[in-house]
Amino acid sequence: MASTPTRRKRRLGQFLYELRKRAGKNEQDFTSLTRKSQATLSRIESGRTLPGWTMLGAMLTFYGATAEERREGESLWIEAQQDSKRMEHAGVYNPKARGFIRGESDASAERTVAPLVIPGVLQTLEYALALYVAAHRFVTQPSTDRVVAAHAARSQLLQGPNALSLHALLDEACIRRVVGGPKVMAAQLRYLPKLGAQPNVDLQLIPFEAGAYGTMSGSIILGYEDDQDPDAVYLEITGGGVWVENEVDVRKYTSSFTDIAEKAALPPDRTAEVISEQAANLEKT
C-alpha cells in the first residue's frame, strides 16, 4: 500500500513485525540487540518511527531475513525516508512517482482534477508515449519498453472485479491540446467515452466557460478500503510529486473536488458528447 511517508512507514513496520514474530523474538530481545526501549520498537512497528539504516540491517539479520526479504525491507526503508521536496528523474517513474503508482494500485477509489494532461490511468499507449518523448530531458534512462509495461499495468487498474473506482475532472485543455498529432489525439478521445461508460468510471469535463475553479492545479485523491489508511492527496509535478496527508488539508482538497464536480464541471453524458465532437473534428484534419 505504501504511498505516503506514513503508509510506507506503517508497511515497513508491519514487515518487521511479521519477521520478528516468525523468528520468535520478543520485545526484550529487541532491547538487548539495539539498546533501545520497547517503546521504540512499538513506534517502529506501528509506523510512527523509522529505524536508522544501521538498526534496520541489524534487525533484518537478527530476525533471520532471507536475501529477498532483506532487499524488500531496504526498499521499503528507502521509500519511507524520501524527501518529498527533492526532484529526481529516473526511468519512467522516479522514487516518489513509484510511491504514487504503488499507492494507486492499492487504492479502491481515486478522484483526480487534471488541468492539462489526461490522467495516466486513462491514457492510450500512443498518448503516453507522446508525453514520454516530449519530456525526454527529464528522463535519465530512456526505455520505450518500460513505458509500454507501465502503461499496461496502470490500464488494468480499471478492469476486473476489484477495479479502481475513478472520478476524473478534466479541464477542457486536456482535450483541446493535440498531443502526438491529430490521429493519436483522436484515438485518445475516442477511448475516453468507452472508459466513461464503465460503471466504475465517471468523467466530467470542466469547460473553459466555467472560469476559475479550485486552485486551478492538479490533484489526485486516493481512497482505501482499510480504515487504517485514510485518504491521501498527491500533487503531481515534473520529476515526482508531493504528498499531502494532513487530515485538515486533505479535507480541503476533497471539498474542493466536490465543489468543482457539482458547480463547474459538465455532467458525464454531456462530457462524452463534447469529447466525441472534438474527436470527430480531429479525424477531419
Residues 231 and 268 in one domain: yes
In angstroms, rounded to a whole number, what is the distance separating the alpha carbons of residues 242 and 154?
20
Residues 35 and 176 in one domain: no
Residues 102 and 180 in one domain: yes
DSSP letters spanning 156-225: GGGSSTTPPEEEEEEETHHHHS-TT-HHHHHHHHHHHHHHHTSTTEEEEEE-GGG---TTSS-EEEEE-S
Residues 104 and 231 in one domain: yes
Partners of 233 in beta bridges = 221, 244
Residues 189 and 99 in one domain: yes
**At 243, which CATH number?**
3.30.870
Least confidently predicted of 86-100, 178-192, 196-210, 257-271: 86-100
pTM assigned to the model: 0.72
Kindly report, residue by residue over 38-80, the tens digit of the pLDDT: 899 998 998 888 898 989 999 999 999 999 999 999 988 887 7
Residues 121 and 26 in one domain: no
**Cβ atoms of 245 and 230 closer than 8 Å:** yes
Residues 203 and 122 in one domain: yes
In angstroms, rounded to a whole number, what is the distance separating the alpha carbons of residues 72 and 99?
14
CB atoms within 10 A of CB 211: 9
Task: Please check whether residue 247 lies inside any domain of the structure.
Answer: yes
Residues 70 and 120 in one domain: no
Domain range for 76 is 5-80
Kindly report, residue by residue over 245-255, the tens digit of the pLDDT: 889 999 999 99
In angstroms, rounded to a whole number, what is the distance separating the alpha carbons of residues 214 and 261?
10
Q: Which three cell numbers stand for residue 279?
A: 474527436
Within 8 A by CB and 6+ apart from 136, the residues are: 142
pLDDT, residue 47, reads 85
Residues 206 and 266 in one domain: yes
Task: Please check whether residue 90 lies inside any domain of the structure.
Answer: no
Task: Please check whether residue 89 lies inside any domain of the structure.
Answer: no
Instruction: Look at the block and give the residue holding cell 529487541.
Output: 30
C-alpha 64: how far from its chain's center?
A: 32
